[in-house]
Structure 1
Amino acid sequence: MSVQIRKRGRPRGRAGGPNAEDSGGIRALDRALDILDLIAVSSGLTLTEIAQRLGMAPSTVHRVLVTLAARGVAESDSQTQAWHVGPTAFRHGSAFMRRSGLVERARPLLRRLMEQTGETANLGILNGDAVLFLSQAETHETIRAFFPPGTRSALHASGIGKALLAHAPPADLKRMIAGMALERFTPTTLTDPQALVQDLVRIRARGYALDNEERTPGMRCIAAPIFDLGGEAAAGISVSGPSLRMSDARLASMSQAVIEAARALSFGMAPDPAPRDGT
């Protein structure tokens, strides 16, 4: 799953036309969408960085960002001055997911997976250099993993993230790893690019990814990719929980349950919920 960023891809007016509106576009809106596209696939960019990457005047970028922020589409980190997509952008994206049906199709499977394993089941997609969690079926255990919709997690320290990386086209994978900070969160986080690639090879071979306390001490995650009609890993499904419950002894059965759920969702072929008694 990839996103292309256009550099100053605004439509030119017709020959002799005074502005972009001549070709049916609105120049200010086009600029705003270029900026939104860029920050959506980044881990945070300053105003200066955005202006440089898009070849726009800083004053123009500032006006656009202030407008987007006022509507909740973009927001700035007060400490780093970096800009990110805002909650309104997620709400807009959620409307697309409802239309595409992935979240709705996944809902019964997430609950079934949670009941099978006793752990929280999650659905996520690639969002720039992170995983964006879309839906969750939360376990009733007191100690549990919690990734509410809209949460983002680093690709290299996430079960779903590594499952998606393992099935990315080689050229995309090389580019993505080169641009990742590979931040260390715990002693087991994979921060060496070569070690990460080796783990991705193992993931691809066995069909599932394991986050072995790589993001949070004492927590494990098992994930598998969901493939679209083009055969690309478009999303991922996982179960997460305490390492004491997700022990090595349970790894085989839990990973098989995750793989089967991912297969059921791939190509949009999630099974229909079981009919109710008497229907």
Structure 2
Amino acid sequence: MTTIQEKSDTVAAVEKAFAILECLGNRRDVSVTELAQQLGLSKSSVHRLLQTLKALGYVAQDGESELYRATLKLFELGGKALENTDLVREADEDMRRLGELTRETIHLGALDEDAIIYIHKIESDFGLRMQSRIGRRKPLHSTAIGKVLLAHMTPSGARALLESQPLKIFTPQTLNTVEAVMQILPRVWKLGFAEDNEEAEPGLRCIAVPVFDRFGKVVAALSISFPTMRCDADTPERYTSLLKAASQSISGRLGWRPEA
């Protein structure tokens, strides 16, 4: 590994922190002195950074030997990034097909702490302007994707997330209490889809279905968004059917097999 020489205070500490993590990734049970010598840093600087990384859970220290090692938290973080990368790649073809069939906006969203985050999007052919973009976070309670993700959590887990922050009201249709959201989740789970009926944006509807990984865990939700003016009597049923077929295809490529 390239040795990092002691640099001026203008150099970001994160550069040194990642150098330490890289070193710990290649070796197990390393002392402060060894790290300092290998990286060309002072022992005090290495010790300070190690304590920060330890507090964040990325580094552990043996109680007797006082040697340091990397934890599995980095593996977990990398696994999540890899999972999302695989998910987007596997979902892209079906999302584009959905876009061609409906000409509406298609989203793929996943849980990001206490909100959803859009990780892929196919734009509407109609030039529909939505308050969404890849990487943007949206509330759980007012989105069809959020309701799907909540419905596949334990009730206590869903309630904890909903109670962690005030439920913002976006339109007169927004569910504005934890109990109101909790009451619909069993039905969402049973039917296999959720709806947002002008709850996030006026004049806009959305239907979402879950996407499963090989363990049967819901890792994301797939949705179609469309304006109420293009919603006929059979539109929700048709879009739900298309979404479920696409979700089954995506989930299958992720290794999921439906129960017999």
TM-score of the superposed pair, with normalisation by structure 2: 0.67
User: 2:52: which partner in 1?
Assistant: 31
Structure having the higher Rg: 2
Cα RMSD between the aligned structures?
Answer: 3.6
User: 2:200: which partner in 1?
Assistant: 215
- Code of the aligned partner of 1:128: E
Is 1:198–2:183 an aligned residue pair? yes
**Paired residues of 1:221 and 1:239 also in contact (CA < 8 A):** yes
Sequence identity of aligned pairs in percent? 33
**Paired residues of 2:159 and 2:182 also in contact (CA < 8 A):** no
User: 2:223: which partner in 1?
Assistant: 238
Unmatched 5+ stretches in structure 2: 1-28, 37-45, 59-77, 256-260
- Code of the aligned partner of 1:28: L
The number of aligned residues is 203
Query: Residue by residue, what CA displacement relative to the aligned partner does 1:24-66 show, whole Å, maximum 9, x if unpaired?
Result: x9752663696699xxxxxxxxxxxxxxxxxxxxxxxxxxxxx
- Code of the aligned partner of 1:220: R
**Paired residues of 2:108 and 2:118 also in contact (CA < 8 A):** yes
- Code of the aligned partner of 1:141: F
**The residue matched to 2:159 in structure 1 has which SS?**
helix
Pick the aligned partner of 1:172 from 142, 157, 161.
Answer: 157
Deviating more after overlay: 137-146 vs 25-34:
25-34
Q: Provide runs of 4+ in structure 1 moved above 4 Å.
A: 17-22, 32-37, 92-95
Pick the aligned partner of 1:96 from 82, 88, 91.
Answer: 82
Is 1:139–2:160 an aligned residue pair? no
Q: d(CA) in 2 for partners of 1:93 and 1:107?
A: 20
Unmatched 5+ stretches in structure 1: 1-13, 38-91, 271-279
The change in CA–CA distance for 1:18 and 1:161 in structure 2 (over 3 A counts) is same
- Code of the aligned partner of 1:236: A
TM-score of the superposed pair, with normalisation by structure 1: 0.63
Alignment of 1:64-75 (within 5 A): none
**Paired residues of 2:87 and 2:254 also in contact (CA < 8 A):** no
**Paired residues of 2:140 and 2:146 also in contact (CA < 8 A):** yes
The change in CA–CA distance for 1:191 and 1:93 in structure 2 (over 3 A counts) is farther
1:146 deviates by 5.4
- Code of the aligned partner of 2:49: A
**Paired residues of 1:144 and 1:242 also in contact (CA < 8 A):** no
Q: d(CA) in 2 for partners of 1:170 and 1:133?
A: 24
**Paired residues of 2:212 and 2:254 also in contact (CA < 8 A):** no
**Paired residues of 1:226 and 1:236 also in contact (CA < 8 A):** yes
